[in-house]
Chains A and B, each alone.
Chain A
């Protein structure tokens, strides 16, 4: 087997959290205000259900999702679905990539550097995304201690400044607005689609569905705690605080004595964020490789990253417009690929069992 359940659990805990530390908190604050925790909770709850559904489906079959599609719908349909999945993974990479670029420019440099400073990341993306599931799993294992140590350090530095009463009273925001916030930030939630891709590549054992779902829930808890910390510190102005994780430990009292050690922790945590980002591209490459039968993932990776580089260069100054587009439309694709298709996959399997 190429990837183990433990490795997937690590992905679900650490990548889930790491991918939501930058712009997710301020955006959620903008839509849902002090009830941002409920907005996030809706998103996580829906994904938890989808993850459980996919994990449970894995217990019924040893086949990959592609093989399942091929058996039920035929090769052409399976290829089309995988083609769409590849497009989906590329789509949900674009905004985080822009966010990463903005984050790097804002946090790693005192003065805004030229755009090319960010471009070396593509060497990393091209190399790592051409690797298979073994690489994905093992990278997650390396990221585990990094994430735990750095997150604990950053949380510890932030905790003293958070005033959690800022989150009260609860449910002050109208429910449609809370749900709207959840929907408009849903492009940060692609984990059920990851699990769908891993299907058949790991050996399912008893209680693994519970393990996977609980791992995702653990990742959700880390994010919820961070959201509470973030809103607890900034309250009403939280929506204007870009790159949330860089702002929470700002007021740590020892900074004066020891320097911005929070920045050092952030730089180390950035490694995990990069692996969380590259996972989408790795899965896009996997989908294209599977549906095209093309044997050279290096070339596919090169092409996918070339597309991303072109988009990044062409829309270099249009981050706000892209973000608006994602908030307005991309949630439809997210719901389709992370909720509807996993549910439909489960139905497919049952139908085949009955026949």
Chain B
């Protein structure tokens, strides 16, 4: 048995799957080679271009040095350990074994199937860039590199997942990012040994101090412009292979209320929109609870004329206000869930069934009152003005509704106070979740509820405790 057969055999012994292919070829001088690669995720044409063609001229007596010289691949590694070969083949690269040599070459020819770069579905912008991350980490890193050409940009590659061996890139800017933060993130990811990491949400749990909390500890970005802006502010970005959603830490709740468009439009308009978003979230969370509390415990909260309207609407409704609201909210959540999961062509039918059959008929039949439907619909619309925070707020809406129906308005107040008491001491990598409000960071208030003009945002967020504080210098001193 030749050394070539021995090496290939050793690999095939471990990688028994049929999609791991062996391509044997002989040079004009009679030297034998074998390229081993995983079908579908390796660029087969490039094996011909970068390995077969250059190696044509190798003579039988030529050593490994000659082979190495001829392989002009931009991503080239060599090794003599079979476990390296196995790892690289699994990763999508090609391994070229040479007859009579224990050393082998690894060619970076990974080409996993990837979709085209499109606009992300949840972070849509009217003005500003429309590119979104895709599932391929290399493309995503490229999108970041395209925007940040600084030599200080660091993209640290690590792997996680016992079986998936998923590539994770930790992105930061040296000198801007707080010292030790990338290492901390890396350590926390490395501490978690899990079989597979199918999405960045897994990594999000790994890097959260309290993974069971209702409030997340890292922000997500689907757009490279948002991601790069956050990295430039001093945050650490995390790209996960297979996920179009990138993560950034440290996280502050106020981030969810900021959209990329705020920075591309007039600052006054952006401020108005942010205030609207904040008010909308409050309305969305509290409106069903206040309505139920008012109906059950404090009727004076409802204006008299509105009360007359409501009383005529609720007349004959067999359910109590809290049960009625609870059921309406349940229907909304079911419709929401179904509309996401259902095939698009059924979606229209679902809307008709949801809006007309369930809504209209339920009202006409006197099972649910019109105000309940209006309130729940408005609440849902309000919460989706801040989609990144909707996961938390929709859950809180349920809790507030249950409390309002059982304890009344005081329960809602106590729960709100409890949430404040809880949130003020929570942090994400040392940055308080409620910053810049608690603790108050004066400079950061210019980019919180208020979106000041670019000339007022000369410093990076103080709450992040970054290395280089100044991000903008204007020579005209405007």
Contacts and interface: CB of A to CB of B under 8 A. Distances in A.
Interface of A: 4, 6-7, 104, 108-110, 113, 117-118, 120-121, 123-124, 127-128, 131, 134-135, 137-139, 141-142, 145, 256-260, 263-264, 267-268, 270-271, 274-275, 278
Given A139-B424, A141-B440, A270 B298 contact: no
A83 to B, nearest CB: 26
Interface of B is mostly: helix
Interface of A is mostly: helix
Interface string B381-415: 00000000000000000000000000111111110
Contact of A138 (B412, B413, B418, B425): B425
A142 B434 contact: yes
B297 interface: yes
Nearest to B442: A6
Interface of B: 290, 297-306, 407-414, 416-418, 420-422, 424-425, 432, 434, 437-440
A88 B301 CA distance: 38
Given A108-B408, A108-B409, A142-B420, A123 B440 contact: no
Given A128-B417, A259-B300, 7 more contacts: A110-B299, A117-B407, A120-B410, A124-B417, A124-B418, A142-B434, A274-B413
A252 to B, nearest CB: 13
Contacts of B424: 134-135, 138-139, 141-142
A264 B290 CA distance: 9
Q: Which 10 A-B pairs give the minimum distances between C-beta atoms? A: A259-B303, A138-B424, A138-B438, A128-B421, A141-B438, A108-B410, A260-B300, A271-B417, A124-B418, A274-B417
A108 B421 contact: no
Contacts, number: 108
Contacts of A138: 424-425, 432, 434, 438-439
9 contacts: A6-B440, A117-B411, A120-B414, A124-B414, A124-B418, A259-B302, A271-B416, A274-B413, A278-B421
B413 A267 contact: yes
A267 B304 CA distance: 20
B371 to A, nearest CB: 14
Contacts of B306: 259
A141 B434 CA distance: 10
B404 to A, nearest CB: 11
Instruction: Tell which of B303, B305, B438 has the most Cβ of chain A within 10 Å.
Output: B438
Contacts of B418: 123-124, 127-128
A131 B420 contact: no
A302 to B, nearest CB: 15
A275 B300 CA distance: 26
B340 to A, nearest CB: 34
A256 B306 CA distance: 10
A189 B98 CA distance: 88
A110 B407 contact: no
Contacts of A267: 409, 412-413
A121 B413 CA distance: 9
Contact of B301 (A4, A263, A268): A263
A142 B438 contact: yes
Contacts of A108: 297-298, 408-410, 413
B410 A104 contact: yes
B434 A109 contact: no
B414 A142 contact: no
A275 B418 CA distance: 10
A260 B416 CA distance: 20
A127 B421 contact: yes
A275 B438 contact: no
Nearest to A270: B413
A117 B410 contact: yes
Nearest to B425: A135
A169 B214 CA distance: 58
Contacts of B414: 120-121, 123-124, 274
Contacts of B298: 108-110, 263
Nearest to B306: A259
A137 B410 contact: no
A134 B302 contact: no
Contacts of B408: 108-109, 113, 117
Nearest to A108: B410
B300 A263 contact: yes
A141 B437 contact: yes
B428 to A, nearest CB: 15
